[in-house]
Amino acid sequence: DAIDKGGYRHFMLKEIHEQPRVLADTLEGRIAGGKVLTEILGVDAVPLLEKTQSVHIVACGTSYHAGLVARYWIESLAGVPCTAEIASEYRYRSPVVKDGTLFITISQSGETADTLAALKLAKARGYLTQLAVCNVPESSIVRESELVLMTRAGPEIGVASTKAFTTQLVALALFSLALGRVKGLSEKRYASGVRQLEQLPAMVAEALKLDERIQAMAERFVDKQHALFLGRGTHWPVAMEGALKLKEISYIHAEAYAAGELKHGPLALVDQDMPVIAVAPNDHLIDKLLSNMEEVRARGGELFVFVEDGVGRGIDSENMLVLPASGEIAAPVVFTIPLQLLSYHVAVLRGTDVDQPRNLAKSVTVE
Ligand code: G6P
């Protein structure tokens, strides 16, 4: 048992620290000469991408959060309309499928009952084709899908997903950049995205060095009942994933809000007992996010801020951690790391069963 954990106290911590390697593995052989190799999406990838007029992404849990990030990327990099939806909703409504729509499932296990059922339904609905982003090659979802883009996270034992999520983001970034290239994404932005992917394992290794400081931060959460996570753009789903991690393993009630919605309700909850965690990358929304954070501070809320190098000035919070500068593709992955570590350390301090939280299963194979 101790050997399997590779000297780490829990599988989850081991899996968090494996991320630089599994991200590199997921990129291996998929980028060459500054370009995403479109063959990774099959032999007819280019005509397929050309025909793609819209994208429907369906998934559950953490994988759904990866889909929400991809939705921003696909629309912004490729100009292709994209929806991301929970499989248990998709399968029981009547989705409208326009010509030229690509169906994507995202699943670590490839066995989630709702995602598999959604895929089976989609196959009868006139999509261009179905692409699975999956971590288990011999799984049902892989077998049922026409196209497959494997994540190479290796076996994930901790019930709370960590390395599967970040490798899903990398696979979806490869897809978004490949689609963008076909749809007229500028050479400059494309090259920058590819470069960010190449630098990502090193940036994640850098972010992992914050572990000790995050452990100290975690002590402030031990006796809390609630927590609020804030983000904007691609970092809204990153905040959602941070909140999910915290509730799954520490049993603290956590919610994520798009920071712009703060005034429409959650601000009423903010007081000294409500820690607010803000994810603040250096993007076009940073000034707006900074003013949202000011609103929280003015109400006496305790702010915990993860900021990208270069935007820290002007933030008045003793609980501020600076992350390596990263960019539109890499930032959602890099900012996920401290949120994983925060929930891990809070859970350890609260004495929960980190790898096997109560009432949850690693793979939900029944409805
Ligand atoms: C369960 C797991 C989550 C996972 C979700 C979807 O809830 O505890 O970690 O994100 O299922 O699983 P999948 O294997 O389809 O990604």
- Alpha helices (H) along the chain: 11-17, 19-27, 45-51, 61-73, 87-90, 113-122, 140-144, 163-182, 187-208, 211-218, 235-250, 286-298, 331-350
Rounded to the nearest 10°, the torsion over CA 243, 221, 210, 193 is 20
Report pLDDT for 106. 98
**pLDDT (mean) for 84-101:** 96
Q: Regarding beta strands 276-280 and 253-258, do their DSSP bridges make them parallel or antiparallel, or are they unpaired? A: unpaired
Would you say the CB of residue 16 lies under 6 angstroms from ligand 1?
no
Taking alpha carbons only, the member of 133, 129, 73 closest to residue 103 is 129
**Residue to mutate, 138, 142, 161, ligand 1, most ligand atoms under 8 Å from C-beta:** 161
CB of 191 closer than 8 Å to CB of 34: yes
**pLDDT (mean) for 185-210:** 98
**pLDDT (mean) for 250-269:** 93
Helix axes 331-350, 187-208, angle to 10 degrees: 20
Confidence of residue 110 (pLDDT cuts 50, 70, 90): very high
**pLDDT (mean) for 87-116:** 97
C-alpha 362 to ligand 1 mean position (Å): 6
CA distance 256 to 27: 30
Report pLDDT for 228. 96
Catalytic positions: 362
Taking alpha carbons only, the member of 294, 223, 212 closest to residue 259 is 294
A 10 A CB-CB count for 40 gives 18
**What does pLDDT average to over the chain?**
94
CA distance 253 to 250: 9
List beta partners, residue 31. 36
**Residue to mutate, 62, 249, 359, ligand 1, most ligand atoms under 8 Å from C-beta:** 62
Would you say the CB of residue 135 lies under 6 angstroms from ligand 1?
no
pLDDT at 34 exceeding the cut of 60: yes
pLDDT at 1 exceeding the cut of 60: no
Mean pLDDT is lowest, of 31-35, 112-116, 202-206, 317-321, for 317-321
Residue that the structure tokens 């702010």 belong to: 303
CA 129, distance to chain mean position in Å, is 24
CB of 201 closer than 8 Å to CB of 337: no
C-alpha 104 to ligand 1 mean position (Å): 16
CA distance 115 to 132: 10
Taking alpha carbons only, the member of 343, 332, 322, 173 closest to residue 242 is 343
Burial of residue 310 (number of CB atoms within 10 Å: 0-12, 13-18, 19+): exposed
CB of 293 closer than 8 Å to CB of 314: no
Would you say the CB of residue 321 lies under 6 angstroms from ligand 1?
no
CA distance 117 to 89: 11
Atom of ligand 1 nearest to the CA of 159: 8
Within 8 A by CB and 6+ apart from 291, the residues are: none
Report pLDDT for 333. 98
**pLDDT (mean) for 153-169:** 96
CA distance 97 to 145: 18
User: pLDDT per residue over 278-304, tens digit each?
Assistant: 998 888 888 888 888 888 888 888 899
C-alpha 244 to ligand 1 mean position (Å): 11
Would you say the CB of residue 360 lies under 6 angstroms from ligand 1?
yes
ipTM: 0.98
Would you say the CB of residue 365 lies under 6 angstroms from ligand 1?
no
User: pLDDT per residue over 71-83, tens digit each?
Assistant: 999 999 999 999 9
C-alpha 237 to ligand 1 mean position (Å): 16
Report pLDDT for 92. 96
What SS3 state is found at 54?
strand
CB of 263 closer than 8 Å to CB of 295: yes
Q: Regarding beta strands 82-86 and 54-59, do their DSSP bridges make them parallel or antiparallel, or are they unpaired? A: parallel
**Residue to mutate, 58, 111, 136, 362, ligand 1, most ligand atoms under 8 Å from C-beta:** 362
φ/ψ of 48, rounded to 5, equals -65, -45
CA distance 164 to 305: 25
CA distance 61 to 114: 11
Confidence of residue 134 (pLDDT cuts 50, 70, 90): very high
Token code pair at residue 208: 């992992």
Would you say the CB of residue 62 lies under 6 angstroms from ligand 1?
yes
